[in-house]
Amino acid sequence: MQKTAGCPGGRERKAMRDLESIRREVAECDQEILRQLERRMNCVNEIIDYKKATGVPILQPNQEKRQQKALRALAAGNQYEDEMLNIFESITEMSKKVQAKALVHGNIALVGFMGVGKSTVCALLKQMLAMDSVESDEIIVQRAGMSINDIFDHYGEAHFRDMESQVLKDLGVCHQTVISCGGGAVLRPQNVETLRQHSRIVLLTASPETILSRVKDNDDRPKLRGKKNVHDIAAMMAVREPAYIAAADVIVNTDNKSVLQICEEIITRPIAFGKSQNA
């Protein structure tokens, strides 16, 4: 090596390589990265197979935290630390997607009475499996430019249900998506048929007491106006129950369970030839 002229302290540097030589090395690195990424994704699938075979919980957020901590320690002090950690963040997300494809074919449509926890479960499934997520009621509000209460007041329930049916039909283009449906979405048989074309329909249930505790401070549910009591909620649930059960591929009760436990049941409960699986 030759000392670089004008460099303080006589700092040395390597002779500059030609551009094509550098590009060849980059290409070689890319090939090796691709091989190792494929190897890593194969390991992810092996882990899923092992968990299924042995009954080990699929969703393990603490393990993910340990992996992230170990990666931060490995990258600490590297001149490309931030960039490398960002790359590994993307790799982790893609690994979750590989996991989701092994567990879920198509979409997951969450249905059930108001307050059973559809939105909360939807959010955690999205986080744990890197799936997309949508809430049908939110789309309706966006399209109408007004709240659900205002839609009911100005145009009536039938108009809201028509909008809901159109939204569910439009969501047919989604893939690997968690769809949180409104409480009355499956009361129309046409909506059930629409969802069945692309989704596993998961019915979340809860006791009237649990539902009351979850919705008592929420005024965004027009069907519960003046009915925020156990008796009226139970009566409304009884009317809807046959439609809910008929629609469901899987049934998961949410009483006294953590969101993580509920999500675990959703992704591990099999569909027995179209018949509902009760929790």
pLDDT in tens, 103-161: 888 899 999 999 999 999 999 999 999 999 999 999 999 999 999 999 999 999 999 99
Q: pLDDT grade, residue 271 (50/70/90)?
A: low
Please enumerate, as own/partner, the contacts of 13-22 that have beta carbons within 8 Å and a separation of 24 or more: none
Query: Quick check: do 19-102 and 104-268 share a fold?
Result: no
The pLDDT of residue 220:
74
CA dist., res. 111 & res. 118, Å (int): 7
High-pLDDT (> 70) share of the chain, % = 92
CA dist., res. 86 & res. 9, Å (int): 35
Q: Would you list the domain boundaries of the chain?
A: 19-102, 104-268
Residue 112 DSSP one-character state: -
Q: pLDDT grade, residue 216 (50/70/90)?
A: confident
The pLDDT of residue 117:
94
Cα→Cα distances 175→110, 179, 197, Å: 15, 10, 11
Query: In this structure, what are the phi and psi dihedrals at residue 134, rounded to the nearest 5 degrees?
Result: -145, 150
Which class would CATH give 19-102?
A: mainly alpha
Instruction: State which H helix or E strand residue 135 sits in.
Output: strand 132-135
Q: Which two tokens stand for residue 172?
A: 């047919």
* Residues 204/111, Cβ–Cβ less than 8 Å: yes
Choose among 154, 143, 102, 120: nearest CA to 263. Answer: 120
The pLDDT of residue 72:
95
* Alpha-carbon radius of gyration of the chain: 26
CA dist., res. 137 & res. 116, Å (int): 15
Which class would CATH give 104-268?
A: alpha beta
Q: Which two tokens stand for residue 235?
A: 């009566």
The pLDDT of residue 217:
79
Q: pLDDT grade, residue 13 (50/70/90)?
A: low
Q: What is the mean pLDDT of residues 179-192?
A: 95
